[in-house]
Structure 1
Amino acid sequence: MKFSEELFDEVKEIWDEYLKHPFVKGIGEGTLDKEKFKNYLIQDYLYLKDYAKVFAMGLVKARTMKEMKFYHESIKGVLDDETAVHVNYLKGFGLSTDEVEKYKVELTTASYTNYMLGIALKGDSKDIAMTIMPCTWSYYYIGKHLYETYKDRLEENFYVPWIKEYASEEFRQCTEEWIDYIDEICENISEDEKERLKDIFIKSSLYEMEFWNMANK
């Protein structure tokens, strides 16, 4: 079994709870309160700023030029592609990115990003991959589920750009590239290291749940 498959087995129960979460279901059904979504976007935009810094630490600690290019492209994807959906929605809410950056970072957001940054500062490429991957991978997991579940009812859904972003072929490819990268760098590692890496992966997955809980308040 590939290590990525072992990781997925460890967190599938947690990720399946994301799919049942009222906030996530509200996006799919188009019934989510728009004020909640605005607040989520603000926190997620602030989260992505630090998320990109974790990738940047991966670039610093990369061992090969190929690995450096991989992290560089990932940073560009976060800063240019993923934030674009946020920016468009925020404009619709009358907020510029300059205004968003003045908002307070909520405790859950800060706790999550501080955890990732701590792992990135202390760890190596494997540790960094473990702490960032639950976000990317689970968002594709959610986006794909929402699109497949609600695709016949998306025409009037306010949240369809968000759903299509995370269910897109481009995002699928990005996720698959990261899964392949994990399997490559974690090949032939010891059982002790596997358990340590799984723990990081699980903790980041639990932080993702806390982020959804915060968004739904």
Structure 2
Amino acid sequence: MFCDEVWARTAKLLRAIHEHPFNTALGEGTLDRERFAFYIVQDARYLEAFAKALATAAVRATDPEEVAFWAQSAHGAIAAERTLHEGYIEEYGLTADDLAGVPTSPTALAYSSWLQAMALSAPYPVLAAAVLPCFWVYQDVGQALVSRSSETHPYRAWIATYADPSFEAAVTGAKEITDRLAASADEPTREAMAAAFVKATEYEWMFWDSAWRREGWPTSEWVS
């Protein structure tokens, strides 16, 4: 199956995601608040692009069940996950003006722009493969971390979201759709799907790495 193939193809990258200092500290509950706050703000920006890509997948799908799945997932990306983010933002005492003053990081902008480009220009099966890592990788990380988080873990709410059975069902749905599309695709399309899955998984690692570094624009001192 396509999903088995691309998961195996990205095995080293996935291991690097699990072993990244951001996720290691997140699992241990020792991740400093500044890094997590930076991550939450950037992820909220990314989710807007992700939701639009999912909504575009719903428009481009022809199977009614696939239309419903992508539309529901787009709603979930904005409603459920943004609600969690807003709760964390409130906890950190950030205002709307504070958020507006935080620049979108280069990596967040690159990932969001690439995903929107896939939504607008790539064939529908390639778009399905491009959005799959944001489902699957997060579930994989969440399930790995949830067993190490106690009731008093400072980031338990975030971890529990991606280890929840309802999110697992969404991941299963995305995988099943992608496998069906790959099974009926020609070889060039299937290769494009694999390349999109790999690229999105690379962006997932880069996103966590950028949060760990609290990535900024190296050119910011030269512009006003």
1:140–1:171 contact (8 Å) kept in structure 2:
yes
Deviation at 1:81, TM superposition (A): 1.2
2:218 corresponding residue in structure 1: none
Is the 8 Å Cα contact of residues 61 and 124 (structure 1) preserved in structure 2? no
Q: How does 1:43-122 map to 2 (within 5 A)?
A: 43-96=42-95, 99-101=98-100, 103-122=102-121
Unmatched runs of 5 consecutive residues or more in structure 2: 214-224
Q: Distance in 1 between matches of 2:100 and 2:71?
A: 23
| Percent of pairs with identical residues | 29
CA distance in 2, matches of 1:47, 1:99: 17
Matches of 1:94 and 1:137, distance apart in 2: 31
Q: Which residue identity does 1:35 align to in structure 2? A: E
SS at match of 2:154: coil
- Alpha-carbon RMSD across the aligned residues, in angstroms, is 1.5
Shift of 1:102: 5.1
Q: Aligned partners of 1:97 and 1:27: how far apart in 2?
A: 26
- Of 66-75 and 90-99, the range deviating more from structure 2: 90-99
Structure 2 distance, partners of 1:65, 1:169, is 24
- The Cα offsets for residues 149-202 of structure 1, whole Å up to 9 and x where unpaired, read as x14xx2321001111111111111111111111112221323332222111110
Q: How does 1:1-217 map to 2 (within 5 A)?
A: 2-96=1-95, 99-101=98-100, 103-148=102-147, 150-151=148-149, 154-217=150-213
C-alpha separation between the residues in 2 aligned to 1:101 and 1:172? Answer: 33
Name the count of aligned residue pairs: 213
- Tell me if the contact between 1:46 and 1:101 (Cα under 8 Å) persists in the aligned partners: no
- Classify the secondary structure of the residue corresponding to 1:113: helix
Superposed displacement of residue 98, structure 1 = 6.8
Separation of aligned partners in 2, 1:181 and 1:101: 37
Sort the Cα spacing of 1:61 and 1:159 in 2 relative to 1 into closer, same or farther, 3 A. same
Residue identity opposite 1:16 in structure 2: R
**What is the CA distance between 1:60 and its match in structure 2?**
2.1
Using the alignment, how far apart are the partners of 1:86 and 1:71 within structure 2? 21
SS at match of 1:104: coil
**Letter paired with 1:3:** F
Structure 1: gaps spanning 5 or more residues: none
Structure 1 window deviating more from structure 2 (125-134 vs 99-108): it is 99-108
TM-score, normalized by length of structure 1? Answer: 0.93
Once the 2 structures are TM-superposed, how far is the Cα of residue 106 of structure 1 from its aligned partner? 1.0
Shift of 1:63: 1.5
- Give the residue type in structure 2 aligned to 1:182: T
State how far apart, in whole Å, the 1-side matches of 2:171 and 2:8 are. Answer: 17
Cα shift at 1:101: 4.7
State the alpha-carbon separation in 1 of the partners of residues 95 and 72 from structure 2.
25
| SS in structure 1 at match of 2:183 | coil
Q: Is the Cα–Cα contact under 8 Å of residues 69 and 173 in structure 2 kept in the other structure?
A: no
8 A contact 1:85–1:162 mirrored in 2: yes
- Of the structure 1 ranges 20-29 and 7-16, higher mean CA displacement relative to structure 2 is found in 7-16
State the SS of the aligned residue for 2:102: coil
Name the aligned partner's letter for residue 109 of structure 1: A
Residues 52 and 99 (structure 1), Cα distance of their counterparts in 2 relative to 1, 3 Å cut: farther
